[in-house]
Amino acid sequence: MSIYIIFALNALLFASVLFLLTAGLNIIYGVMRIINLAHGNLYALGAYVTAWVLLTVGYQAFPGPLLYIVPPIIGVLVVGLGALIMEPTLLRPMYKRIEEFQLLITFGVLLILEDLFLLIFGPYPLSVREPYTFLGVSKIGDLSYPNYNFLVIALGFIVAFALWFLLYKTKFGIILRATSLDREMAAAMGVNVKSLFTVSFVIGAMIAGLAGGFIVTKDTAVLGMGIEALVLAFVVMVIGGLGSMKGAFVGALIVGALRQIGTAYFPEIELAILWLIAAVVLTIKPQGLFGR
């Protein structure tokens, strides 16, 4: 029995990470209609900076709960700053051009960031373990489950709730959704679309950075992590529907659950499972589960 509880927790853990990755991508796509290929390495940047802070300053510098707050927040802020520079300088000149330009620019940033990681942080994985091990493990039957994973699961739900609140319960959210539906009409109503784009891009990037900051203590900061994360996020985005936050949430849960089942019972086709789900959803509902 206990193994099934752990299976369920694993599914939630994976879903939580996928949601955090996809949520930012969806905000950016929903508002700006940009597929931000650099998103994966903005996530990796959050991971690298957080790990670097913990390794250079030392975990002792952050007593108590600060260990779980300050280093990831530094990571998030660096990513936010990067996004703040990237949007007006690289993306803004591309809005009026055909989409291929945006894809090329964001893909270029993805590659540049990858080599910057190699240049700055070196080729070896940056591994920090204290925040992960300090929380210990929970006993579920005769099995162990790392408590840190509960934190990551919780983070996914907290960010989902915060985004729902921001989008549906605040004036900013209404403006954001209105701009997403009809950019020209929103501009005609006096919305400063330019700054709204910047803010959306920075928020989307910071969620990715947050995911990276929290994931790095459980995993490692390693070259290539951003590119793989990007691919996964796209799968979830396609399943859930482009630009749909609800789609990201449900899509992440579906992928998380089916991946765990696949790994446990059909390990040979674990990799194929993600694509099979996407193929089935696209065949039945080409716009994704909650796409417009």
Partner 1 sequence: MSGTDRRGFLKAVGAGVGGLIVGGLAGYFGAPPKEVVKTETVTTTVGGAAQTVTKTVTVGQTARPTPSGPIKLGLQVFFTGPGALLGLPAAYGTRMAVKEINDAGGILARKIELLERDEGPSDATLREFRKLVLEDKIDYYTGLISSGNTPTVGPEAEENKVLTLFVDGCTDILFERAIPNPHYVFRITNIQSSDAITAAVGTMKLLFDRGLIPENPKITGIHPDYAYGRLIYDFYNTAMKKMLPDAEILDQQFPGLFKVTDFSAQITSMIQQRPDLAIVSLWGGDYVNWYKQAIGFGLFDKMKVVTTLTFGGSPQAVGKDHPAGHVGGVHANYWFTNPDWTLWPLNGKFVKKFKDMWGEYPSFEGEGAYTGAYMLKGAIETAAQEVGGYPDEEEIIPILEQWSTYGPAGYIQVRKKNHQCYKNAVIGVTGTSPEYDFAVMSEVLVLPIERVSAPAEYDTSKQWLESWPVGFKP
Q: Contact positions toward partner 1, by CB under 8 A?
A: 3, 6-7, 10-11, 13-14, 17, 114-115, 118, 123-125, 127, 129, 132-133, 137, 143-146, 148-149, 215, 218-220, 222-225, 228-229, 231, 259-260, 263-264, 267-268, 270-271
CB of 141 to partner 1, least distance (A): 11
CB of 264 to partner 1, least distance (A): 5
CB of 7 to partner 1, least distance (A): 6
Are 2 and 246 a contacting pair, CB within 8 Å? no
Helices (H), 122-224: 130-134, 147-169, 171-181, 183-188, 193-218
Nearer to partner 1, 16 or 200 (CB): 16
Q: Which residues contact 288 (CB under 8 A, 6 or more apart)?
A: 237, 238, 239, 240, 241, 242, 244, 247, 251, 281, 282
CB of 71 to partner 1, least distance (A): 17
Q: Scan for tokens 């707050």, then name that residue.
A: 69
Nearer to partner 1, 35 or 130 (CB): 130
CA distance 121 to 123: 7
Burial class (CB in 10 A: 0-12, 13-18, 19+), 173: middle
Nearer to partner 1, 127 or 287 (CB): 127
Nearer to partner 1, 29 or 43 (CB): 43
Rounded to the nearest 10°, the torsion over CA 128, 37, 234, 42 is: 20
Distances (CA, A) of 87 to 81, 144, 169, 256: 10, 44, 26, 31
Are 200 and 28 a contacting pair, CB within 8 Å? yes
Tokens in use for 213?
């900051």
CB of 229 to partner 1, least distance (A): 8
Nearer to partner 1, 99 or 228 (CB): 228
Tokens in use for 42?
């903005």
Nearer to partner 1, 119 or 284 (CB): 119
CB of 258 to partner 1, least distance (A): 11
Nearer to partner 1, 29 or 234 (CB): 234
Residue 146 parent element (H or E)? strand 143-146
CA-angle at 275, arms to 274 and 277, nearest 5°: 70
CB of 144 to partner 1, least distance (A): 4
